[in-house]
Chains A and B, each alone.
Chain A
Amino acid sequence: MSPAPDDAHRVHCRLDELLADRGMTLTDLADRVGVTVVNLSVLKNDRARAVRFSTLTAICDVLGCDVGDLFTVR
């Protein structure tokens, strides 16, 4: 059985909503997490294929949330 294509996922990133709740911009988050705005934009728009644990940890630390709050499966 061949693996599913990388783009064929249903994971939705709720970064937009979490940022709005906290009144933060993507640029602010990028500065504090240490990831480029481009990469965070990719994540926010569900175009990411994989996320490093270190990135997840940093985002959750800054937003004060859990990994489960960040993603849902549609």
Chain B
Amino acid sequence: MVSIIVMENRMRPAGTLTWVVQGLCLALAALSLVGSLAWVLGPNGADVVPLYRLGEAIGTSEQNTVAHEAVVVSGRAGVATAAAANEALAPQREADATSASPSGFVEFYGAQAQLSFWGLGRWESLAWTGTRALPLLGLSLIWLLLALTMRDVRRGDVFTTRVARRVAVIGGLVLVGVPVTAVLRQVLAVHLVESSWAADIADAAPAALVPWWSVVVGLVLLVLATAWREAAVMRRDLEGLV
């Protein structure tokens, strides 16, 4: 009798919105996981799954392409710089045209271009694919944790230390994962461009090394997780208070 009363006291009717949000989080978790697997299993990873249509179906076709990096050409922006850069690469293009294993491709439009690498080494390929697949895996984990939290919201059992830990994990992933990925991508891009045949005329496009928004969001989430844990402990203490 008592247990029934206590349960009724804690259970709340499940709102449609919480069901929808939980379902959406689960769907996004699955989508992110598929995207991550597409990187791992696709042409730049293990190359065991032909993704030429799946990549477009899951919202990005980048997994289908060979490794590439954005580059900029030294010199004034304009047609003359682009023409000079294209001319400088003409011998390499001619060599590639007759080669069984062409080294890559680049065509300059203005001062910017995308450099494609067709023959990365094993570790280069692993690092390039990893810096694309791991963020999606982390994103999938975040969506999954949010879905689990929405499930707890639906059950009226959200102010618990378990949920506080989930918020802390999400905060940690955003705080550390995003900047680390950005730095690793930039370091890798510089290495690839500098060791390519276009190194003399192009540099890896500069990126903002630390995305400060992620540091702010991550810290806010960690603060919220701390407050949440305090609230959960307080709730536990108050449960059973008559």
A51 to B6 alpha-carbon distance, docked (Å): 17
A51 to B240 alpha-carbon distance, docked (Å): 8
A4-54 contacts to B, CB under 8 A, are: 6, 35, 38-43, 45, 47-52
Q: Which residues does chain B contribute within 8 Å of A40, judged by CB atoms?
A: 242
**By the criterion CB–CB under 8 Å, are A41 and B2 in contact?**
yes
Q: How far is the CB of B85 from chain A (nearest CB, A)?
A: 70
B80-112 contacts to A, CB under 8 A, are: none
Q: How far is the CB of A21 from chain B (nearest CB, A)?
A: 21
**By the criterion CB–CB under 8 Å, are A50 and B242 in contact?**
yes
What interface size band does chain B fall in? 10 to 19
**By the criterion CB–CB under 8 Å, are B240 and A48 in contact?**
yes
Q: Which residues does chain A contribute within 8 Å of B241, judged by CB atoms?
A: 48-52
Q: Which residues does chain B contribute within 8 Å of A52, judged by CB atoms?
A: 241-242
Supposing A41-B2, A42-B2 touch, asked if A47 and B9 sit within 8 A by C-beta, the answer is no
A55 beta carbon closer than 8 Å to chain B: yes
Q: Which residues does chain B contribute within 8 Å of A39, judged by CB atoms?
A: 242
A51 to B237 alpha-carbon distance, docked (Å): 12
Chain A interface residue count, CB cutoff 8 Å, equals 16
B208 beta carbon closer than 8 Å to chain A: no
Q: Which residues does chain B contribute within 8 Å of A42, judged by CB atoms?
A: 2, 6, 240, 242
A49 to B1 alpha-carbon distance, docked (Å): 19
**By the criterion CB–CB under 8 Å, are B240 and A45 in contact?**
no
**By the criterion CB–CB under 8 Å, are B2 and A51 in contact?**
no
**By the criterion CB–CB under 8 Å, are B240 and A50 in contact?**
yes
**By the criterion CB–CB under 8 Å, are B9 and A6 in contact?**
no
A47 to B240 alpha-carbon distance, docked (Å): 7
Q: Which residues does chain B contribute within 8 Å of A47, judged by CB atoms?
A: 2, 6, 240
B1-51 contacts to A, CB under 8 A, are: 1-2, 5-6, 9
Q: How far is the CB of B1 from chain A (nearest CB, A)?
A: 8
**By the criterion CB–CB under 8 Å, are B5 and A38 in contact?**
yes
Measured CB to CB, the nearest residue on chain A to B240 is A49
**By the criterion CB–CB under 8 Å, are A35 and B2 in contact?**
no
Could you say which of B2, B6, B9, B237 has the most chain A C-beta atoms within 10 Å of its C-beta?
B2
Q: Give 10 pairs: A residue, B residue, CB < 8 Å, sorted on A.
A: A6-B240, A35-B242, A38-B6, A38-B9, A41-B1, A47-B2, A47-B6, A48-B241, A50-B241, A51-B241
